[in-house]
Amino acid sequence: MRTFPEYISDLFGGIKSLLTGLSVTWKELWTKKVTQQYPENRSTLVISDRFRAELVMPHDENNEHACTACGICQMNCPNGTIQVIPKMVETEDGKKKKLLDRYVYDLGMCTFCNLCVLTCPSDAIKFTNQFENATFTRGKLVQQLNKEGSQLRAKKPAAPKTQIQTPPKEA
Ligand code: SF4
Ligand code: SF4
Protein backbone atom coordinates (compact mmCIF):
# COMPACT_ATOMS: atom_id res chain seq x y z
CA MET A 1 0.00 0.00 0.00
CA ARG A 2 1.29 3.48 -0.95
CA THR A 3 2.14 5.90 1.79
CA PHE A 4 0.72 9.43 1.88
CA PRO A 5 4.06 11.11 0.91
CA GLU A 6 4.36 8.74 -2.10
CA TYR A 7 0.82 9.63 -3.15
CA ILE A 8 1.64 13.38 -2.99
CA SER A 9 4.88 12.79 -4.91
CA ASP A 10 3.02 10.89 -7.70
CA LEU A 11 0.39 13.62 -7.84
CA PHE A 12 2.96 16.37 -8.37
CA GLY A 13 4.84 14.14 -10.82
CA GLY A 14 1.65 13.79 -12.88
CA ILE A 15 0.99 17.53 -12.83
CA LYS A 16 4.59 18.22 -13.92
CA SER A 17 4.27 15.76 -16.81
CA LEU A 18 0.98 17.35 -17.90
CA LEU A 19 2.50 20.86 -17.84
CA THR A 20 5.52 19.65 -19.87
CA GLY A 21 3.20 18.28 -22.57
CA LEU A 22 1.07 21.42 -22.60
CA SER A 23 4.17 23.62 -22.92
CA VAL A 24 5.14 21.75 -26.13
CA THR A 25 1.60 22.20 -27.48
CA TRP A 26 1.65 25.93 -26.60
CA LYS A 27 5.06 26.41 -28.29
CA GLU A 28 3.93 24.62 -31.48
CA LEU A 29 0.80 26.76 -31.56
CA TRP A 30 2.94 29.84 -32.29
CA THR A 31 5.70 28.41 -34.51
CA LYS A 32 5.56 28.78 -38.31
CA LYS A 33 3.54 26.01 -40.01
CA VAL A 34 5.41 23.70 -42.41
CA THR A 35 2.52 21.43 -43.35
CA GLN A 36 1.01 22.33 -46.74
CA GLN A 37 -2.77 22.36 -46.97
CA TYR A 38 -3.73 20.88 -50.33
CA PRO A 39 -5.83 21.86 -52.31
CA GLU A 40 -6.10 25.24 -50.54
CA ASN A 41 -2.50 26.02 -51.55
CA ARG A 42 -3.08 25.30 -55.26
CA SER A 43 -2.18 28.82 -56.37
CA THR A 44 1.20 28.75 -54.64
CA LEU A 45 2.06 25.07 -55.02
CA VAL A 46 5.37 24.49 -56.81
CA ILE A 47 5.80 21.16 -58.60
CA SER A 48 9.22 20.42 -60.07
CA ASP A 49 9.37 20.46 -63.88
CA ARG A 50 11.07 17.06 -63.71
CA PHE A 51 8.13 15.46 -61.89
CA ARG A 52 6.56 12.78 -64.11
CA ALA A 53 2.82 12.92 -63.63
CA GLU A 54 1.28 12.09 -66.99
CA LEU A 55 2.39 11.08 -70.49
CA VAL A 56 1.22 13.43 -73.26
CA MET A 57 1.64 13.76 -77.00
CA PRO A 58 2.27 17.42 -77.88
CA HIS A 59 0.33 18.77 -80.88
CA ASP A 60 1.16 22.02 -82.66
CA GLU A 61 -1.23 24.79 -83.73
CA ASN A 62 -2.07 22.81 -86.92
CA ASN A 63 -3.20 19.81 -84.83
CA GLU A 64 -0.14 17.87 -85.95
CA HIS A 65 2.04 15.52 -83.87
CA ALA A 66 5.35 13.76 -84.46
CA CYS A 67 4.30 10.14 -83.86
CA THR A 68 5.06 7.84 -86.80
CA ALA A 69 3.33 4.84 -85.16
CA CYS A 70 6.62 2.92 -85.18
CA GLY A 71 5.61 1.14 -81.94
CA ILE A 72 9.05 1.42 -80.28
CA CYS A 73 7.59 2.98 -77.11
CA GLN A 74 5.05 0.17 -76.88
CA MET A 75 7.78 -2.46 -77.22
CA ASN A 76 9.93 -0.80 -74.55
CA CYS A 77 7.15 -0.27 -72.02
CA PRO A 78 7.72 -2.91 -69.33
CA ASN A 79 4.08 -3.34 -68.35
CA GLY A 80 1.89 -2.87 -71.39
CA THR A 81 0.77 0.67 -70.60
CA ILE A 82 0.90 1.87 -74.21
CA GLN A 83 -1.05 0.62 -77.19
CA VAL A 84 -0.09 2.04 -80.57
CA ILE A 85 -2.85 1.30 -83.08
CA PRO A 86 -1.76 2.08 -86.63
CA LYS A 87 -3.74 2.40 -89.86
CA MET A 88 -2.62 1.93 -93.46
CA VAL A 89 -3.34 4.74 -95.91
CA GLU A 90 -2.61 5.14 -99.59
CA THR A 91 -0.46 8.10 -100.56
CA GLU A 92 -0.94 10.25 -103.69
CA ASP A 93 1.62 8.19 -105.58
CA GLY A 94 -0.26 4.96 -104.79
CA LYS A 95 2.09 3.71 -102.07
CA LYS A 96 0.89 2.27 -98.75
CA LYS A 97 1.91 4.20 -95.65
CA LYS A 98 1.51 3.37 -91.97
CA LEU A 99 0.09 6.20 -89.87
CA LEU A 100 -1.11 6.54 -86.30
CA ASP A 101 -4.78 5.81 -85.76
CA ARG A 102 -4.97 5.73 -81.94
CA TYR A 103 -2.34 6.10 -79.25
CA VAL A 104 -3.79 4.65 -76.06
CA TYR A 105 -2.13 5.25 -72.70
CA ASP A 106 -3.28 3.76 -69.39
CA LEU A 107 -2.21 6.13 -66.64
CA GLY A 108 -3.32 3.61 -64.02
CA MET A 109 -0.72 1.09 -65.26
CA CYS A 110 2.18 3.52 -65.76
CA THR A 111 5.20 3.27 -63.46
CA PHE A 112 6.60 6.58 -64.80
CA CYS A 113 9.91 4.92 -65.71
CA ASN A 114 10.28 7.25 -68.74
CA LEU A 115 11.56 4.46 -71.02
CA CYS A 116 8.96 5.31 -73.66
CA VAL A 117 10.06 8.94 -73.84
CA LEU A 118 13.76 8.11 -73.90
CA THR A 119 13.42 5.57 -76.70
CA CYS A 120 11.03 7.47 -78.99
CA PRO A 121 13.05 8.33 -82.11
CA SER A 122 10.68 11.16 -83.08
CA ASP A 123 10.48 12.99 -79.76
CA ALA A 124 6.70 12.61 -80.04
CA ILE A 125 5.80 12.07 -76.38
CA LYS A 126 6.82 13.63 -73.09
CA PHE A 127 5.84 13.79 -69.43
CA THR A 128 4.07 16.75 -67.88
CA ASN A 129 4.01 17.60 -64.18
CA GLN A 130 0.21 18.00 -64.13
CA PHE A 131 -0.46 15.65 -61.24
CA GLU A 132 -4.17 16.19 -60.56
CA ASN A 133 -5.38 13.07 -62.33
CA ALA A 134 -7.62 11.48 -59.72
CA THR A 135 -10.78 9.83 -61.07
CA PHE A 136 -13.59 7.78 -59.60
CA THR A 137 -13.10 4.85 -61.97
CA ARG A 138 -9.95 3.20 -63.35
CA GLY A 139 -11.42 3.24 -66.85
CA LYS A 140 -11.14 7.02 -66.97
CA LEU A 141 -7.35 6.70 -66.59
CA VAL A 142 -7.17 5.16 -70.07
CA GLN A 143 -6.67 8.01 -72.51
CA GLN A 144 -6.16 8.53 -76.21
CA LEU A 145 -3.15 10.82 -76.56
CA ASN A 146 -3.50 11.74 -80.25
CA LYS A 147 -6.22 14.35 -80.64
CA GLU A 148 -9.28 13.88 -82.81
CA GLY A 149 -8.50 14.70 -86.46
CA SER A 150 -4.77 15.15 -85.81
CA GLN A 151 -2.14 13.98 -88.27
CA LEU A 152 1.56 13.36 -88.65
CA ARG A 153 3.64 16.50 -89.06
CA ALA A 154 5.40 16.58 -92.41
CA LYS A 155 9.17 16.29 -92.22
CA LYS A 156 11.08 19.45 -92.91
CA PRO A 157 13.26 19.19 -96.03
CA ALA A 158 16.87 18.48 -95.10
CA ALA A 159 19.22 21.45 -95.29
CA PRO A 160 21.53 21.34 -98.36
CA LYS A 161 24.96 19.94 -97.58
CA THR A 162 27.75 22.48 -97.75
CA GLN A 163 30.66 21.57 -99.99
CA ILE A 164 34.05 21.65 -98.34
CA GLN A 165 36.41 23.56 -100.61
CA THR A 166 39.83 21.96 -100.82
CA PRO A 167 42.64 24.42 -101.47
CA PRO A 168 44.42 24.01 -104.85
CA LYS A 169 47.65 22.06 -104.70
CA GLU A 170 50.79 24.13 -104.93
CA ALA A 171 52.93 23.49 -108.05
S1 SF4 B 1 6.77 5.64 -68.35
FE2 SF4 B 1 7.35 3.47 -68.38
S3 SF4 B 1 5.53 2.37 -67.68
FE4 SF4 B 1 4.86 4.45 -68.25
S5 SF4 B 1 4.22 4.26 -70.37
FE6 SF4 B 1 6.37 4.90 -70.41
S7 SF4 B 1 7.53 2.98 -70.57
FE8 SF4 B 1 5.45 2.45 -69.92
S1 SF4 C 1 5.49 7.84 -79.63
FE2 SF4 C 1 7.51 7.67 -80.62
S3 SF4 C 1 8.18 5.56 -80.25
FE4 SF4 C 1 5.98 5.65 -79.81
S5 SF4 C 1 5.02 5.02 -81.73
FE6 SF4 C 1 5.12 7.25 -81.77
S7 SF4 C 1 7.04 7.73 -82.81
FE8 SF4 C 1 7.15 5.57 -82.24
Contacts 24+ apart (CB under 8 A), 24-30: none
The pairing of strands 151-152 and 96-106 is unpaired
- Give the position, in ligand 2's atom list, of the atom nearest the Cα of 72: 3
**92 pLDDT band (50/70/90 cuts)?**
confident
In this structure, which ligand is nearest to the CA of 125?
A: 2
Q: How far, in Å, CA of 73 to CA of 41, rounded? A: 36
Q: How far, in Å, CA of 125 to CA of 138, rounded? A: 22
**Residue identifier of the C-alpha nearest atom 6 of ligand 1:** 116
**Residue identifier of the C-alpha nearest atom 7 of ligand 2:** 67
pLDDT at 25 over 80: yes
Mutate which of 67, 105, 110 for ligand 1? The one with the most ligand atoms within 8 Å of its CB, which is 110
CA angle 45, 46, 47 (to 5 degrees): 115
Q: How far, in Å, CA of 35 to CA of 48, rounded? A: 18
pLDDT at 19 over 70: yes
- Report pLDDT digits (tens) over 107-143: 999 999 999 999 999 999 999 999 999 999 999 999 9
Ligand 1 centroid to Cα of residue 107, in Å, is 9
SS3 (DSSP) at 148: coil
Ligand 2 shell residues, CB under 6 Å: 67-73, 84, 120, 122, 124-125
> From the CB of residue 116, how many other CB atoms can be counted at a distance below 10 Å?
23
Domain boundaries, the chain: 54-152
Q: Check: CATH 3.30.70.3270 for 54-152?
A: yes
User: How many Å separate Cα 83 from the centre of its chain?
Assistant: 18
Ligand 1 centroid to Cα of residue 111, in Å, is 6
Task: Supply the mean pLDDT for the chain.
Answer: 92
SS3 per-residue string spanning 25-83: HHHHHHCCCCCCCCCCCCCCCCCCCCCCCEEECCCCCCCEECCCCCCHHHHHCCCCCEE
The pairing of strands 96-106 and 82-90 is antiparallel
